[in-house]
Amino acid sequence: MNGKLDNKVAFISGGSRGIGAATARRLAREGAQVAIGYGSSAIAAEALVEEIRAGGGQAIAIRADVADPASLTRAIDSAAAHFGRIDILVNNAGVLLLGPVDQFTLDDFDKTVAVNVRGVFVASKAALAHMPDGGRIINISSTNAGRMPFAGGAAYAMSKSALTGLAKGMARDLGARKITVNNVQPGPVDTEMNPAEGEFADLLHGLMALPRHGHADEIAGMVAYLAGPEAAFVTGADLLIDGGFAA
């Protein structure tokens, strides 16, 4: 525990695996009390809670269906009731549904928007009811918000590029309260969704200046920076951490 985030409370959607879990560990290590929102991975979420507590941190797991506004709002309200407030919101949960636009179903389009865009708005609105001045809203976007160099990713890229406008507008809305709103835009990261040894790895590495997958801990480091006091002057920004994918 290094204390940069002592007495801060963080809610992380999709916090039981991958980037979300790495972020929960990192924020807890820096002193934050962490609420881990999960959709279906209850066992993984509870195991992560126990891991954080064993290391001296404070954590709880709360089921939060990001596609369901009522469920998501209840989860954030519950976290605030448990810890007293929400200082840091990390909108990490997301879906990656691919397919050519002429074959992409309306159901998949609606799910993409519901989770990747509407869920961010709903969570932010819910968290703001419990967020003191100087809080942080951090969205996990994607390098594909600005570059989609292969077919089949139109809906996904659209959903992530929407976060750019949302963050910039919210930064203006919340600046008077010293609440910052930023997007972290990872490139390929070694997770269950996109493993470093997966079938698309060679294609992706060929598009990058640093031809490797990123590590979830590297993304968590960027989130921790934005959550901390050193980033108080950073807002409305898209921060690439993509190994040069968009270079």
Nearest to 66 by CA among 24, 108, 14, 11: 14
Q: For residues 116 and 125, give the distance between their C-alpha atoms in angstroms, rounded to a whole number.
A: 15
Which of 11, 38, 156, 245 is catalytic? The answer is 156
CB 3, CB 30: distance < 8 Å: yes
Nearest to 95 by CA among 143, 44, 50, 160: 160
Joined tokens for residue 37: 């929102």
Q: For residues 20 and 17, give the distance between their C-alpha atoms in angstroms, rounded to a whole number.
A: 6
Q: For residues 83 and 60, give the distance between their C-alpha atoms in angstroms, rounded to a whole number.
A: 10
CB 245, CB 189: distance < 8 Å: no
Q: For residues 96 and 156, give the distance between their C-alpha atoms in angstroms, rounded to a whole number.
A: 6
CB 66, CB 44: distance < 8 Å: no
CB 226, CB 234: distance < 8 Å: yes
Q: For residues 15 and 22, give the distance between their C-alpha atoms in angstroms, rounded to a whole number.
A: 8
Instruction: Please say if 156 is a catalytic residue.
Output: yes
Nearest to 9 by CA among 63, 49, 71, 60: 60
Joined tokens for residue 232: 């108080």
Q: Which residues are catalytic?
A: 156
